[in-house]
Structure formats: structure tokens, C-alpha cells
Amino acid sequence: MSSQANVLFDTPGPRARLRNNILTLLATVAILYALYAVYAKFDARGQWEGRIWQPFLEPYTWTGYIIPGLLGTLKAAGLGAVFALIFGAVFGIARLSDHRWIRLPAGMIVETFRAIPLLLLIFFLFYLAPSVLGGGDYTLIALVTGLALYNGSVLAEVVRAGIRAVPRGQAEAAYAIGLRKGGVMRLVLLPQAVTAMMPAIVSQLVVLLKDTALGYIIAYVDLLNYGFKIIPAVHFGSLIPAAIVIGVIYVGLNMALSALATWLEKRSRRSRKTSAKPVVPPGAAVAPGVGSSTKAIVD
């Protein structure tokens, strides 16, 4: 670890450490001042009064609003994650096909859905569905489909990068013992690639979970809808407390999912040997010396 750190930056000397400590102190003071300014503004407008926060101490606020909204968010996130993983696996492998008539259309589909803004995609699906399927409530379908197409396209690149991160010698050795391409992919490449892809996959699932909040625009009943529309309408003046409570719940969900990602990645590396290095999500910053995973993303 120390040798890797020395590659990225020089060990600071006494003057550099003093300068860093001063900058850290100044940044800490600035952050504390900003927090105090926010607190003072809220206090001046009476946002810390007990009557405003009282609804969140009542059980019905949680059982009638927050928990149903949370279940709606988790439902959309769960369905979107399943379909996004399926979409990403199918099109990620298709982009590695030796046949141009499979590889090129798969690449066009992936790049198209990656380029379309997710909110625009959700709007398009929401207003298209009644014209195609007839009248009805298509908020969940539009949200889940949009999440699956957009995040599935990103995951397709993750899958492609993860498979390419496995050294070529692994596939060549498998072909040498008589395995066909399907067997090489299923038995040799994918088991190793999944371990390398795990951090990037769960990182994208965290993004998917946060993107479920876009369902608010099409009136999907989720945690954000209950927090910013229904609760303030029932309990007048509780918009800021509702925003804080809902924000804390979202942070908790994302931290739990990130912790799950760390646990899964450590467990998979203990239980399965792989020569592939971890894959970072497309567009993420990559430190120098990452190796084959960087090449896989760039390719």
C-alpha cells in the first residue's frame, strides 16, 4: 500500500504538512460557519419549532405516509434493478460478439439509451404508454422502464469492461482444452468478471435508487412524493422537516447499499480467485496505475 501511495503523490514535508493543516482548519471553520448560517436562517423562520416537527413523532405519519412511500421507492428500485441487470448482461455480452449483425445493433442501442436524459426518457414512456396500451396508470411502468433502459445501458458497458478485464490467456487456455465460446464465457470469463464488476454494479444500483426520485415528476407515489407533496399538504408548514427526514432516509438507504457492495466484493474475492482487477463505472475518475480495468473502460 505504501509503494502504491508513493506512486500517486510525494510524502509531504514539514512545511507542506503545516500548510495542509492550516487549509484543513480554514475549511473546517468555513463549513461550521455555513452550517450555523443555515441553522440561523431556519431558526429565524421558525423551522425548529416543536409544532412543525410534531407530525414526525406521530406513528400514523410513518405508517400512513413515509413507510408506504418507502415501499413504493423500493418497489420501483427493485424492479428497475432486476431489468437493468438483465438488459446490461444481455447487451454487454452482445457487444463482444464476433458477429457484426449482433455487435453493431447492440452498440447502437446501448449508446442511444445512454445518451438520452433519463427524465426525458421517463416523460416519453409515460405519455407514449396510453397511446399504445390504452388508458390506465402507467407511472410505475414508465419509471421502471426508463430506469432499466438507462441504467441497463451503463451496466452493459460495465459488463463489457469486466469481461475484457480478464486476461486474454484465460480464454485461450479454455479454448485449448476444447471449450466452445459459450462454455468459455459461462465457465471462465463471467465468474471472474463478476468479481471485478461487483463494485461498479452496486455503485450503479445506488444511482438507480436515487433516480427513482424522478418519479415525482410523473406523480408516482414514492417516498419523495409523500415527503414533498402529501405530508406538507396534511401538516401545513412541515415542508423543511419533511425534506430533512426524507433526505436522511435516502442517505441511509444509499449507505446501506454501499456497505452491501463492500461486503459482497470482499466476500467474492475471498471465495473466488480472479486475475481481473476491479472495474470502475463509465465516466468515473480513475487513478493512475489502475491497470487493465482502465484499458477495459477506454476500449
pLDDT one-digit tens code per residue, 8-40: 567 778 888 899 999 999 999 999 999 999 888
**50-298 fold:** MetI-like fold (1.10.3720)
Could you identify the residue written with the cell 438483465? 86
196-205, 223-232, 264-273, 286-295: least confident range:
286-295
Q: How many CA atoms lie within 13 A of 37 on its CB side?
A: 6
**Are 80 and 148 spatial neighbours (Cβ–Cβ below 8 Å)?**
yes
Buried/exposed 194-204: b ≥16 CB within 10 Å, e otherwise:
bbbbbbbbbbb
User: What is the pLDDT at residue 277?
Assistant: 61
SS3 129: helix
Residue 1 has pLDDT above 50, yes or no: no
User: What is the pLDDT at residue 239?
Assistant: 79
At residue 34's C-alpha, the angle toward residues 33 and 35, to 5°, is 90
pTM of the model: 0.75
Span 127-151, pLDDT tens digits: 888 888 777 788 999 999 999 999 9
If you average pLDDT over residues 204-226, what whole number do you get? Answer: 88
Span 90-117, pLDDT tens digits: 999 999 888 889 889 999 999 999 999 9
User: What is the pLDDT at residue 227?
Assistant: 81
66: which 3 cell numbers? Answer: 413515509
Distance CA 210, CA 229 (A): 18
Span 37-83, pLDDT tens digits: 988 888 887 777 777 888 888 888 888 888 998 999 999 999 999 99
User: What is the pLDDT at residue 269?
Assistant: 65
At what angle are helices 190-211 and 139-165 packed, to 10 degrees? 150
Distance CA 281, CA 217 (A): 27
Round the average pLDDT of the chain to a whole number and report it. 81
Span 146-192, pLDDT tens digits: 999 999 999 999 998 888 878 777 777 877 887 787 777 877 788 88
75: which 3 cell numbers? Answer: 418497489
- Maximum Cα–Cα distance for the chain, whole Å? 76
Distance CA 247, CA 111 (A): 32
At what angle are helices 67-94 and 100-115 packed, to 10 degrees? 150
Could you identify the residue written with the cell 473546517? 28
Distance CA 55, CA 53 (A): 6
- How would DSSP label each residue in 55-121? GGGSHHHIIIIIHHHHHHHHHHHHHHHHHHHHHHHHHHHHTT-S-HHHHHHHHHHHHHHHHS-HHHH
